[in-house]
Structure 1
């Protein structure tokens, strides 16, 4: 079992970290524990320390020395622990906050902050590589980051880097750089004789980024011969090496989705539509919608009743948006939708609570501009939300406005998939049908279709066994994954699937450097 430790002032970050850990190891294998637990025989062998104060430093150092241990530290390294690990204080760079911000992206270009996190070759020890990720990045105005990760801040919030310290070269996984000049450390891996410590310089760690895979690999396989390991349930179903889902958000039209749907049918790729039900006041869309609902390898989702910003601004408005949309779609196609897509990808807490109360099983959203809590590296149960309701972040927007004017037009989208592929992340991307008013930067339907074909061809060339899923199938898998349990009976771990499951896709578990098809048999600790 993993212990998650945080002081009361850090509860906001601690709760988000607990949810992130549980999305990887299941809810049965991570719990919040009191500081006193560190000094008892019941102390866990694997722990997270979130925003730990200096007063906890000696207790954490002593716990590390009491047998084989793994510790993940998010945020400040308490002074005693920092000294034990050989860290040195540095000063904040001048004009640091300004360097963490990006200008908006111009059409067919991307923009990023001067400040970046740059990984070293040592990240390979945890399955990473020499990644470079900006503190803030935009691919469309000041809204979307098509590479999928969230923003690192310098504002003192839980999303900010916490302190300017440097770690020994041998431990450094990543540094903060400004215009290619190294300033201080961002991530480190300290290997001690009987313990290992993984540190990220942020209270919530990389819970909103592909970098979360480093945490999973640390837990599941690092120094497997000497230190405890924790099974991680993969976001990729067993037997596959990639999982992909995509959709069109029907903001202004439905019928014009037909040409792209026909293309996906020809390519043998499932297709999904999120329906903004103001469109359904016009019955010219009914034939397409009913034909689509009756076809195979398709999925319908709600895209709200009126596409109101922030779901209308209140719980009551969001409740009405979700209920009216679900009922309207059911009236037209005779099928009740189970999942929603947030308008503008805005997903405030009250809207998620309203959707759960209406009866939805989950929501798709996530965008770098707002609601950072919903940008999650792994899909699944959200902090402060009931079991059975899940979220999935899908920030990659395949629009003509985002095709690069120079070089390979779809280079960003290839990189987005590559990051997901390398980090065992369920990859989601979106587009919109054309409307009489707006074509989302696409000159023609033919050019748009050609780009979709190119991205699918890239995915099929990169992955040996990619699994393309419609949105319902993808989210059903995440709902089922969230209900799975890893059970530790003292001698071995066992994977326990829910008795009633929304998905029949098989699960895989990463453990001690191997991927194991999850079954009824146990696997040794």
Structure 2
């Protein structure tokens, strides 16, 4: 079991990190450490710990074998252990973490970035370069999917500038190429313990970098130290999951040509529908459902932030569900947020309206909903799931010359490398707007080239409609993981028959209801 510790630090950071850990290892395998009880777990995550937690950390590590995760400013005890030095955050140590808005056909990144080094390979990573902020469209979307590392003093930004020795540095915070500010992450191995540290109170919960945390838990020194099975986002027997969706903000039937192309390619295509558009006959909805795709709510009127209040969001959720049920004879179980804006009150309203999950994620706002992996959410019942999908396949984002699809190839390659679901979306043309595509033929050709890249890169990709993807994430969220007899027992929800699996001790293992894994 993993205990989350951080008395005196940010309660929001603890809550968000605990939810992220639960999405990875199962709800019952993560608990909050009481102030009065001894810390007796083999794995602990100290979140925004503060100086007062140093003595707890010291005495707990002495009882090894242990794995320790620390997010945020290290207390003095850990600084000594890591050989870390703290420096003032000003002058030569200042950095610019803000990106400019992206012009059409270009992207923009912050001058400051995180650079991973060779040590990241020990946790299944790579020499990743990750800007603190990136925009691929205006100041709203990051097609590579991760959130922003804030420059200010918030739970989303780096803590005090810290340097660790080069031999334990996982990643450095760079103000510009060749100008290092300090260390961003470290991995320290000792005979009876291993320590993973990120200089950010929430760690990498909003980025593909979360893969390092999962590998640390499941496989790093698994024969010597505690190991925790990690529930895979990718069903057993596959190395990728791909799902494509059209958000019908302004039109529906104009999507038919693209849907016909996807049907020819044998790939399901899903629709998220603004139900204010449903004032006539829409045969495409039935065709999409019969072809293995999904129909999701995209609210009733596509208002920013679901209307700005819980009451407005509830009305949008209820009325759109009722209208979709009238048209399709199916009540939608999942919703896609307008503009992908997903404030907390909207999630509460969707749950109250009977939805089982929500898709959102937008680097321009709501940082808590930029999720490294999908599943249950902080502050919501365990059966309600969320997934971030920032990858917008638009003509506006095609790069000039060279490889116009380079960003999208990179997005898929990173998802493949980190065993994450690859979800991308486009919009049907409307009389007002074609999303930067010169015509339908050009759009279809770009979609085909991306699918060609996926087929050529992945060995066994699985193409799913959005509902099937979210159902799999919901089944993972309901999976019971129980420590038992030196291993783990699993209780699976039998509603989803796809191959649930875990990563454990360096292997992918298919799991079944009642299975005991040692």
Which whole-Å CA distance do the structure 2 matches of 1:170 and 1:422 have between them? 24
Q: CA RMSD in A?
A: 1.3
Shift of 1:523: 1.4
From 256, 260, 267, the equivalent of 1:258 is 256
8 Å contact from structure 1 (residues 76, 202) kept in 2: yes
Moved over 4 A (4+): 95-98
- Structure 2: segments with no counterpart, 5+ residues: none
Q: How does 1:424-463 map to 2 (within 5 A)?
A: 424-463=419-458
Change (3 A) 1:122 1:435: same
State the match for 2:500 in structure 1. Answer: 507
State the match for 1:522 in structure 2. Answer: 516
Which whole-Å CA distance do the structure 2 matches of 1:185 and 1:211 have between them? 15
Which whole-Å CA distance do the structure 1 matches of 2:240 and 2:328 have between them? 32
Cα-to-partner distance string for 1:387-433 (whole Å, 9 max, x where unaligned):
21110000000000000013210000000011111111111110000
- Establish whether residue 308 from structure 1 lines up as the match of residue 303 from structure 2: yes
From 315, 325, 329, the equivalent of 1:320 is 315
Q: How does 1:160-175 map to 2 (within 5 A)?
A: 160-175=157-172
Q: How does 1:362-377 map to 2 (within 5 A)?
A: 362-377=357-372
State the match for 1:343 in structure 2. Answer: 338
Cα-to-partner distance string for 1:446-493 (whole Å, 9 max, x where unaligned):
010001011111111111000011000000111111000111123321
Which whole-Å CA distance do the structure 2 matches of 1:511 and 1:468 have between them? 25
From 169, 186, 192, the equivalent of 1:188 is 186
State the match for 1:23 in structure 2. Answer: 23
State the match for 1:224 in structure 2. Answer: 222
Q: SS of the residue aligned with 1:438?
A: coil
8 Å contact from structure 1 (residues 97, 155) kept in 2: no
Shift of 1:56: 1.5
From 251, 269, 272, the equivalent of 1:271 is 269
Shift of 1:9: 4.0
8 Å contact from structure 2 (residues 8, 49) kept in 1: no
Which whole-Å CA distance do the structure 1 matches of 2:13 and 2:358 have between them? 22
8 Å contact from structure 1 (residues 277, 305) kept in 2: yes
Which whole-Å CA distance do the structure 1 matches of 2:68 and 2:93 have between them? 29
Which whole-Å CA distance do the structure 2 matches of 1:437 and 1:212 have between them? 40
Which whole-Å CA distance do the structure 1 matches of 2:232 and 2:8 have between them? 31
Which whole-Å CA distance do the structure 2 matches of 1:523 and 1:431 have between them? 42
Which whole-Å CA distance do the structure 1 matches of 2:510 and 2:31 have between them? 25
8 Å contact from structure 1 (residues 102, 113) kept in 2: yes
Which whole-Å CA distance do the structure 1 matches of 2:287 and 2:142 have between them? 34
State the match for 1:475 in structure 2. Answer: 470
Which whole-Å CA distance do the structure 1 matches of 2:9 and 2:460 have between them? 46
Change (3 A) 1:134 1:424: same
Cα-to-partner distance string for 1:163-186 (whole Å, 9 max, x where unaligned):
101011110000000111111000
Shift of 1:93: 4.5
Shift of 1:22: 0.3
My pick for the range that moved more, 481-490 or 377-386, is: 481-490
From 76, 80, 83, the equivalent of 2:77 is 80
Which whole-Å CA distance do the structure 2 matches of 1:55 and 1:279 have between them? 56
Cα-to-partner distance string for 1:57-89 (whole Å, 9 max, x where unaligned):
132122112121000000011111111221112
TM-score, normalised to structure 2's length? 0.98
Change (3 A) 1:237 1:313: same
Q: SS of the residue aligned with 1:409?
A: coil
8 Å contact from structure 1 (residues 96, 154) kept in 2: no
Shift of 1:8: 4.3
Q: SS of the residue aligned with 1:52?
A: coil
Which whole-Å CA distance do the structure 1 matches of 2:170 and 2:254 have between them? 48
8 Å contact from structure 1 (residues 97, 154) kept in 2: no
Q: SS of the residue aligned with 2:420?
A: coil
State the match for 1:414 in structure 2. Answer: 409
8 Å contact from structure 1 (residues 156, 162) kept in 2: yes
State the match for 2:237 in structure 1. Answer: 239
State the match for 2:3 in structure 1. Answer: 3
- Establish whether residue 383 from structure 1 lines up as the match of residue 378 from structure 2: yes
Q: SS of the residue aligned with 1:178?
A: strand
Which whole-Å CA distance do the structure 1 matches of 2:93 and 2:235 have between them? 42
- Structure 1: segments with no counterpart, 5+ residues: none
8 Å contact from structure 2 (residues 207, 371) kept in 1: yes
Which whole-Å CA distance do the structure 1 matches of 2:454 and 2:121 have between them? 23
Q: SS of the residue aligned with 1:247?
A: strand
Cα-to-partner distance string for 1:221-247 (whole Å, 9 max, x where unaligned):
101121110111111001101111110
8 Å contact from structure 1 (residues 485, 495) kept in 2: yes
8 Å contact from structure 1 (residues 159, 204) kept in 2: yes
Which whole-Å CA distance do the structure 2 matches of 1:299 and 1:94 have between them? 53
Shift of 1:291: 3.3
Which whole-Å CA distance do the structure 2 matches of 1:97 and 1:156 have between them? 13
8 Å contact from structure 1 (residues 143, 367) kept in 2: yes
State the match for 2:352 in structure 1. Answer: 357
State the match for 1:286 in structure 2. Answer: 282
TM-score, normalised to structure 1's length? 0.96
